[in-house]
Chains A and B, each alone.
Chain A
Amino acid sequence: MKALISILLFYFISGRSVYAKFIDTETFQADLNFYEIKIERTNHLGLHQEDVLMKDERGYFFNSRSLGKKIPTEIAEIWSSLEKGPDRLENGFTNRRAACSSGNYIYSKMIRTGLPGKIDQRRGCTEGKLYARIIQKIRMLKDFAGRI
């Protein structure tokens, strides 16, 4: 009994990071909600920029800045569309390109599993309507982060 109480106590006080250690691939689904998304882009002149979205037990973070545990609906919609990420096949192929002339972006999502992170990576060109939509959403998050 004592042991069980200690386990419960330990679990509650230290937050989810402890139980994350219990998770392996079988229970992997349970931690899909904790992740880090990096959107890096390098243009043809060699200039580079990146933005990082992170969600963990403390809430939402944009470029290390806390957005709180709950975010307004319209921001949540933007967040979830960025979380979903661009089409995995974009990479210039669907745009009829043999190379990205303006530059390349890499979207990578690392899901926190408690085990070495699983990374989902997608690439594309830094131009076109789809790309502009990603940048527009990043701007909206930036503006929101600046207001709170």
Chain B
Amino acid sequence: MGKKTLRNKNRIGNFLLSFQWLFWISHSRPIFMVIFAFILVIKSWALESLPNENLNDQNYQILFNKIEKMRQTLAQSAQSSGPCSGKVSENCSFLEICKNFSGSEKEAYLYQDNKGHQLPNYPLLSTVSQAEACLQKPFLKAPIQDPFLYPEQFINAGKAGGKKELKRNRNKLEKEKRRAQEIFKDAQEKTISMLHKKGNPSNLGQIEALIARVKSVRLESAELGDGEVTLSAAGCEMPNAFYQRESDKVVLCPQVLNLPEGTLFQILSHELGHSIDPCTLAFSYSKNKMLGYTQNTSEFFFGANEKYEISLPAFSPQSLPIKNVLSCLESNKEMDLEVPSQSVLIQNIKKEMASDPENPYLEARVEQVSKNYNQYKYCSAISGQENIQEAFADWVSAEALNEKVSNQVNASQNKKVTFEFQLFMAGIDCENIKKASSEWASDLKHDQKNKCIDIKSTLADNSEAAKRTHPKSQDRVDQILLTKPENRKALGCLQSQTAAHGKNCEL
């Protein structure tokens, strides 16, 4: 558009924005006043008749019935769910594992062990929760009575279905907390004995340092408090688990406590893996009587060279005891794990700054990268990505499982625990499971008038931002878990590796 035309348009635009025209109309002939009133009526009619919800609307009734039917389907499948076992063909792969769920993609639970521990169908449950929010009045009860899915059933007797049910839910919570502590202890022992076995006269000191780190970690179950707010503050808005570097703790959210044993073993050994990942190892830790182990961060934030009494020493990227595993994982081009160089990082941030010049966060990031790259390049505050830490934590958990199943002779128990190990990733990322929930979502999208047009079909995040936080689930299973010989044996896979699998990385 030419400059002149733009200026003319601006003139008209500014004229319309100003009140000059009102002045002009009121000083003109009465006919204009009549036209003006007429226009106002038409304008308000046009705006009011924009799509709006209407309880008596036939479309609304159709929507309500659809959602009600979804809730019933969930409730029925939850009631009829029973123990199941995983079957995987000998050409083991993530895609083969996904075939297990064929036919049960529209059920509330995708898997259940013989003690009632379950893997919920998170994508489907999320779709239904979002769909319910489209209705004029909320349902008083959740579609399923399961406090691990709806934590308010741990807190509120009304939501739980009565005082007796509330008490039962709380007892169950305490029981599952104790079970989680046992699984955590097991994961810690297996990780330590795996590390022991990797020791030799030349790396003994480094192995001891890694073991001391794994031993120092404590498990903490997040408290429920008043529900959503307390849980969100603790990092538990959704089912979650994570290693908190500042306090050297693994935090486990109540929503995941009823997962099957192998699934919790994977989650907890992965989190323990973060206690020796390349970002955590860049920091030293001090031991405090009251707080336990705490991360020393003043060098990172202030460049201060404070004198701490160090219990767990820091490692530079060059002296990392895990550097062979890192370079082996990085060499797997499928996973895109390489940390960009310092100059590339700074260049990229400066590009962002050009379009957002006053963003103080970007300025702080340039400063951090310039100052801290050499020691802390594996931390996401520097590198802007977490893939390498995540792949490394997966390597630790795959090794811990390898240790667990090689110590146990019961083949069916080994198969069960190995199948359960990858369940969480499969449950949120198998295409057939995601497709089922997006089918339900799009069934509600047809009618734009009911405002249910924006339901996201799945909880698994495949956005560009997410690619910087975790490797793809398929890679986590094929390129890491199934490269370990004992894991393959436990699952009944052919021992010869197929092209789909990556290298078996060693320390």
Chain A contact residues, CB within 8 Å of chain B: 5, 7-9, 11-15, 19, 21-24, 26-27, 30, 40-50, 52, 57-58, 63-66, 88-89, 91-93, 96-104, 106, 120-123, 125-129, 131-133, 135-136, 139, 142, 145-146, 148
Question: Chain A's interface: helix, strand, loop or mixed, by majority?
Answer: mixed
B474 at the interface (CB under 8 A from A): no
In the complex, chain A residues whose CB is within 8 Å of the CB of B361:
88-89, 91, 93, 122-123
A98 engages B300 (CB within 8 Å): yes
B386 engages A99 (CB within 8 Å): yes
A58 engages B379 (CB within 8 Å): no
Which among A42, A64, A92, A129 is the interface contact of B454 at CB below 8 angstroms? A64
In the complex, chain B residues whose CB is within 8 Å of the CB of A40:
463, 465
In the complex, chain B residues whose CB is within 8 Å of the CB of A23:
13
A106 engages B465 (CB within 8 Å): yes
B238 engages A43 (CB within 8 Å): yes
B470 at the interface (CB under 8 A from A): yes
B21 engages A102 (CB within 8 Å): no
Q: How far is B125's CA from A47's CA once the two chains are assembled, in angstroms?
A: 12
Chain B 364-380 interface 0/1 with A at a Cβ cutoff of 8 Å (1 = within):
10001000000010011
A48 engages B459 (CB within 8 Å): yes
Which among A7, A14, A88 is the interface contact of B360 at CB below 8 angstroms? A88
A-contacting 9-mer, from B213-221, B229-237, B495-503: B229-237
| Interface CB pairs A-B, < 8 A, 25 | A11-B16, A14-B46, A15-B43, A15-B46, A19-B16, A24-B10, A43-B235, A45-B267, A47-B238, A48-B456, A48-B461, A64-B452, A88-B360, A93-B301, A96-B297, A98-B297, A98-B382, A99-B389, A101-B244, A102-B240, A103-B242, A126-B232, A132-B230, A136-B228, A146-B137
B16 engages A46 (CB within 8 Å): no
Which among B42, B232, B241, B243 is the interface contact of A12 at CB below 8 angstroms? B42
* Identity of the chain A residue whose Cβ is nearest the Cβ of B476 in the assembled complex: A46
Which among B240, B282, B283, B452 is the interface contact of A45 at CB below 8 angstroms? B240
Q: How far is the CB of A16 from chain B (nearest CB, A)?
A: 10
A101 engages B13 (CB within 8 Å): no
In the complex, chain B residues whose CB is within 8 Å of the CB of A136:
228-229, 232
In the complex, chain A residues whose CB is within 8 Å of the CB of B389:
99
A98 engages B43 (CB within 8 Å): no
Q: How far is B16's CA from A56's CA once the two chains are assembled, in angstroms?
A: 19
Additional A-B contacts beyond A43-B235, A101-B244 (10; CB < 8 A): A23-B13, A63-B130, A64-B452, A89-B360, A89-B364, A121-B356, A127-B233, A136-B228, A136-B229, A146-B133
A-contacting 9-mer, from B47-55, B99-107, B155-163, B483-491: B47-55
Q: How far is B233's CA from A136's CA once the two chains are assembled, in angstroms?
A: 10
In the complex, chain B residues whose CB is within 8 Å of the CB of A129:
233
A139 engages B228 (CB within 8 Å): yes
Q: How far is B234's CA from A92's CA once the two chains are assembled, in angstroms?
A: 15
Q: How far is B385's CA from A99's CA once the two chains are assembled, in angstroms?
A: 10
In the complex, chain A residues whose CB is within 8 Å of the CB of B17:
19, 22, 27, 30
Q: How far is B246's CA from A96's CA once the two chains are assembled, in angstroms?
A: 9
* Identity of the chain B residue whose Cβ is nearest the Cβ of A134 in the assembled complex: B232
Q: How far is the CB of B384 from chain A (nearest CB, A)?
A: 10
Q: How far is the CB of A95 from chain B (nearest CB, A)?
A: 9
B449-472 at interface with A (beta carbon < 8 Å): 451-454, 456, 458-461, 463, 465-466, 469-470
Known A12-B43, A26-B10; contact A99-B461, beta-carbon cutoff 8 A = no
Q: How far is the CB of A108 from chain B (nearest CB, A)?
A: 10
B341 at the interface (CB under 8 A from A): no
* Identity of the chain B residue whose Cβ is nearest the Cβ of A68 in the assembled complex: B52
Which among B13, B451, B469, B470 is the interface contact of A66 at CB below 8 angstroms? B451
A97 engages B381 (CB within 8 Å): yes
Which among B13, B53, B138, B463 is the interface contact of A19 at CB below 8 angstroms? B13
* Identity of the chain A residue whose Cβ is nearest the Cβ of B425 in the assembled complex: A46
In the complex, chain B residues whose CB is within 8 Å of the CB of A127:
232-235
